[in-house]
Chains A and B, each alone.
Chain A
Amino acid sequence: MKIDRNNILTILAILVFFLFVWWGSNHLTAYAVRVWEDTLIFLMLSAGYNLINGVTGQFSLEPNGFVAIGAYVTAILILTPAQKESMFIIEPMVPWLANLHMSFLPALIIGGIVTAFVGFLLGFPVFRVRGDYLAIVTLGFGLTIRVVSNNTITITNGSLGLKGLPTYTNIWWCAVWAVIAMIVIMRIVDSAFGRAMKAVRDDEDAAIAMGINTLWIKQIAFVTAAFFEGVGGGLLASLITIISPTVFTFFLTFELLIIIVVGGLGSMTGTALATVVVVWGSELLRVVEQPMNIFGLHIPGIPGMRMVVFSILLIIMMIFAREGIMGQKEFSWDWIFNKIKGKRA
């Protein structure tokens, strides 16, 4: 049975992955663990982003807004009432939020659900436009979230932000959520819903002519992405422990965009590969921004240089290698076995 074989292999792969996480959490340096935590959170964020941008073909620029919502909701829920009282010095927090306190898991899930709900509401106006207009309108959403979080002082503490968040996020939280996100998203892609999403991407009018409610299909992709970006935001919040309106900027969206372009728009396994390459590449490139001493010669750090490299990389990718690592293809067990047997994939 083909399906059984694939399932067993997938379960094995996940076990190997968790084995690596277990090994890593004991043997890797704190720095390496931290970068892996980033990698796994970014994997979840970019998988969601690729579902809407790559699979469904709705090029949008909202993830930083979604991540911010998830981060704020989770942060507000995991901070203790005492912490909140001491932090809100401009204006006190609205009472029903000030006294709300819960553990990490429900806080993350609520963060995801709230973000998904915002995504759902946002979907109705924004999906009335297509193409590059959609990009600009969703970009505006990310920006609006920043403006709103700056001004709703009794909820978000305004520009002061929220500090001293409990550090619940560790590599296990990130790993489990990343695996859940990948499984859920890949299963959606590999179902009638995924086919409908790809149909919308390839030719929306033809998809409508097939009886597909395309708004609904876009909403499924968008809300799923929003949920995981919200949860990812919650994980990030507890990882960095300080959030403010300026933390989740368009720069975050840009990084995710690079990841999904490098991995291949529409390919989840490509996204996974690209996340590792981009996040670790970005860490290695940190060198160029730090001051160095080579044989007594002092080279000052160059802030911004990493982004120059990244933006050039993105432009070059778009001009010469638009398909990314995987194109729209997925790495799959069948594909491997067919390769081994030398059959047509």
Chain B
Amino acid sequence: MDLTIILQQLVNGVSLGSLYGLVAIGYTMVYGVIRLINFAHGDIMMVGMYFAFTGIAMMFLPWWAAFLLSMLASALVGVIVDRVAYKPLRNASRISALITAIGVSFFLENSFLVIYGGVPKAFPIPSVFNGAINIHSVIFPNIAIITPIVAIVFLLILLFILHKTKYGMAMRALSFDIDTVRIMGINVDLVISLVFALGSFLAALGGIFWAMRYPAINPLIGIMPGLKAFAAAVLGGIGSVTGAALGGFIIGVTEILVVALFPALAGYKDAFAFLFLIFVLLFKPTGILGEDLERGRF
């Protein structure tokens, strides 16, 4: 295989990985503050795709407005999900909350099935994202270049929020000690809602770019990338935002490269992330950048 193809695949992998990373951030942040694997997070991706689809194809909004509105609306969906389904279970066992999350996941998938039908919809790709550029006779699709840039820009914005704003710092503090945050006079529920809002906002962003990559969308489309993003979050070290982004890149690049190098294994690509996950959990349960959040259970 020549270098051009490897380079193309690498860019492709980074692009895919940055999508996993965007979604993984939501898993990791929610887990950080309320120790819940938000099963419905992958479905928020799907919600984002359908909202953007509705904005462009049915309301004829300019693409940027449709994207932004979709992300904001998805953030709202995330917050509502937390308030309605998870908040009543804050003091229940973690398993109860997890079962509820599975319920929410099925609810989102099937309500969108009811609303939009099961037939895949063609996602309208704005012309900016179509086409390809040619660098030294190597062809890169625009979308593959734009995706990681967008992802990194939003990651930087998120890191700024987490480290420089009062509520961002409260989010980080919440991962360690809910009571201290409460004493500091910060509204814990508000902070948790903000975490859901930010996570869902980024998941919708990931979803929209996913839809431009694979433009046939259906109500179950969020499941697979959602699970892989979760694997990425664990790989990066659950609770760590940069870890989640890093984990996403690793899983995306590995997936693309393994398929490129061993085409015979292409059929198994959806199982890779899980082998990764099991491997990480067995040998380094804290992930690459994470702290051992499970220790508290002992």
Q: Does B236 have its Cβ within 8 Å of any Cβ on chain A?
A: no
Assess whether B110 is in contact with A140, with CB atoms less than 8 Å apart.
Answer: no
Residues of chain B with a CB closer than 8 A to A212's CB: none
Q: Does A211 have its Cβ within 8 Å of any Cβ on chain B?
A: no
A131 to B109 CA separation, bound complex (whole angstroms)? 25
Residues of chain B with a CB closer than 8 A to A132's CB: 36-37, 94-95, 98
Write the A131-156 contact mask toward B (1 if CB under 8 angstroms, else 0).
Answer: 11101110111011001101100000
Residues of chain B with a CB closer than 8 A to A319's CB: 85, 88-89, 100
Assess whether A140 is in contact with B114, with CB atoms less than 8 Å apart.
Answer: no
Write the A307-319 contact mask toward B (1 if CB under 8 angstroms, else 0).
Answer: 1101110110011
Residues of chain A with a CB closer than 8 A to B268's CB: 147-148, 151
User: How many Cβ-Cβ contacts under 8 Å join chain A to chain B?
Assistant: 124
Q: Does B271 have its Cβ within 8 Å of any Cβ on chain A?
A: yes
Assess whether A305 is in contact with B37, with CB atoms less than 8 Å apart.
Answer: no
Q: Taking chain A's interface residues, is the majority helix, strand, or loop, or is none over half, making it mixed?
A: helix
Which residues in window 158-202 of A have CB below 8 A to B? Answer: none
Which of B2-10, B195-203, B273-281 participates in binding chain A? B273-281
Q: Does A254 have its Cβ within 8 Å of any Cβ on chain B?
A: yes
CB distance from A43 to the nearest CB of B (A): 20
A315 to B103 CA separation, bound complex (whole angstroms)? 6
Residues of chain B with a CB closer than 8 A to A36's CB: none
Q: Does B61 have its Cβ within 8 Å of any Cβ on chain A?
A: no
Q: Does A329 have its Cβ within 8 Å of any Cβ on chain B?
A: no
Residues of chain A with a CB closer than 8 A to B275's CB: 144
Assess whether A143 is in contact with B85, with CB atoms less than 8 Å apart.
Answer: no
Assess whether B113 is in contact with A314, with CB atoms less than 8 Å apart.
Answer: no
Residues of chain B with a CB closer than 8 A to A45's CB: none
Contact of B281 among A133, A139, A143 (CB under 8 A): A133
Q: Does A41 have its Cβ within 8 Å of any Cβ on chain B?
A: no
Closest A residue by C-beta to B267? A151
Which of A22-30, A98-106, A122-130, A223-231 participates in binding chain B? A122-130
Assess whether B102 is in contact with A254, with CB atoms less than 8 Å apart.
Answer: yes
Interface size on B, residues (CB 8 A): 47
Q: Does A286 have its Cβ within 8 Å of any Cβ on chain B?
A: no
Assess whether B96 is in contact with A322, with CB atoms less than 8 Å apart.
Answer: yes
Residues of chain B with a CB closer than 8 A to A143's CB: 227, 270-271, 274
CB distance from A225 to the nearest CB of B (A): 17
Assess whether B271 is in contact with A147, with CB atoms less than 8 Å apart.
Answer: yes
CB distance from A45 to the nearest CB of B (A): 17
Contact of B114 among A137, A141, A302, A314 (CB under 8 A): A302
Q: Does B183 have its Cβ within 8 Å of any Cβ on chain A?
A: no
A126 to B278 CA separation, bound complex (whole angstroms)? 8
A307 to B102 CA separation, bound complex (whole angstroms)? 12
Residues of chain B with a CB closer than 8 A to A257's CB: 99, 102
A322 to B98 CA separation, bound complex (whole angstroms)? 12
Closest A residue by C-beta to B285? A129
With contacts A135-B37, A144-B271, A151-B268 taken as known, whether A128 is within 8 angstroms of B114 at the C-beta atoms is no
Assess whether A303 is in contact with B114, with CB atoms less than 8 Å apart.
Answer: yes
A139 to B275 CA separation, bound complex (whole angstroms)? 12
Which residues in window 115-156 of B have CB below 8 A to A? Answer: 117-118
Assess whether A261 is in contact with B99, with CB atoms less than 8 Å apart.
Answer: yes
Q: Does A205 have its Cβ within 8 Å of any Cβ on chain B?
A: yes
Q: Taking chain B's interface residues, is the majority helix, strand, or loop, or is none over half, making it mixed?
A: helix
Q: Does A59 have its Cβ within 8 Å of any Cβ on chain B?
A: yes
Assess whether A136 is in contact with B230, with CB atoms less than 8 Å apart.
Answer: yes
CB distance from A330 to the nearest CB of B (A): 21
Assess whether A140 is in contact with B94, with CB atoms less than 8 Å apart.
Answer: no
Assess whether B110 is in contact with A308, with CB atoms less than 8 Å apart.
Answer: yes
Assess whether A144 is in contact with B113, with CB atoms less than 8 Å apart.
Answer: no
Contact of A205 among B37, B234, B277, B298 (CB under 8 A): B298
With contacts A315-B85, A322-B92 taken as known, whether A307 is within 8 angstroms of B274 at the C-beta atoms is no
A137 to B276 CA separation, bound complex (whole angstroms)? 10
Closest B residue by C-beta to A289? B114
CB distance from B278 to the nearest CB of A (A): 6
Contact of A128 among B271, B273, B282, B297 (CB under 8 A): B282
Closest A residue by C-beta to B265? A151
A148 to B269 CA separation, bound complex (whole angstroms)? 10
Q: Does A304 have its Cβ within 8 Å of any Cβ on chain B?
A: yes
Closest B residue by C-beta to A137? B278
Residues of chain B with a CB closer than 8 A to A57's CB: 95
With contacts A136-B277, A257-B102 taken as known, whether A147 is within 8 angstroms of B270 at the C-beta atoms is yes
Residues of chain A with a CB closer than 8 A to B109's CB: 304, 307
Interfacial residues, chain A to chain B (CB-CB below 8 A): 57, 59, 125-126, 128-133, 135-137, 139-141, 143-144, 147-148, 150-151, 205, 250, 254, 257, 261, 302-305, 307-308, 310-312, 314-315, 318-319, 322
Q: Closest 4 interchain pairs by CB?
A: A304-B113, A140-B274, A311-B107, A314-B103
Interfacial residues, chain B to chain A (CB-CB below 8 A): 36-37, 85, 88-89, 92, 94-100, 102-107, 109-111, 113-114, 117-118, 219, 223, 227, 230-231, 234, 267-268, 270-271, 273-275, 277-278, 281-282, 285, 294, 297-298
Known contacts A131-B297, A307-B110; 13 additional CB pairs below 8 A are: A129-B285, A130-B297, A131-B94, A135-B98, A136-B230, A137-B278, A144-B275, A150-B267, A250-B223, A304-B110, A308-B111, A311-B107, A315-B103
26 contacts between A and B (CB under 8 A): A57-B95, A125-B278, A125-B282, A129-B281, A129-B285, A133-B234, A133-B281, A133-B294, A135-B98, A136-B37, A137-B278, A140-B227, A140-B273, A143-B227, A143-B271, A144-B275, A147-B270, A147-B271, A302-B114, A305-B110, A308-B114, A311-B104, A314-B99, A315-B85, A315-B107, A318-B97
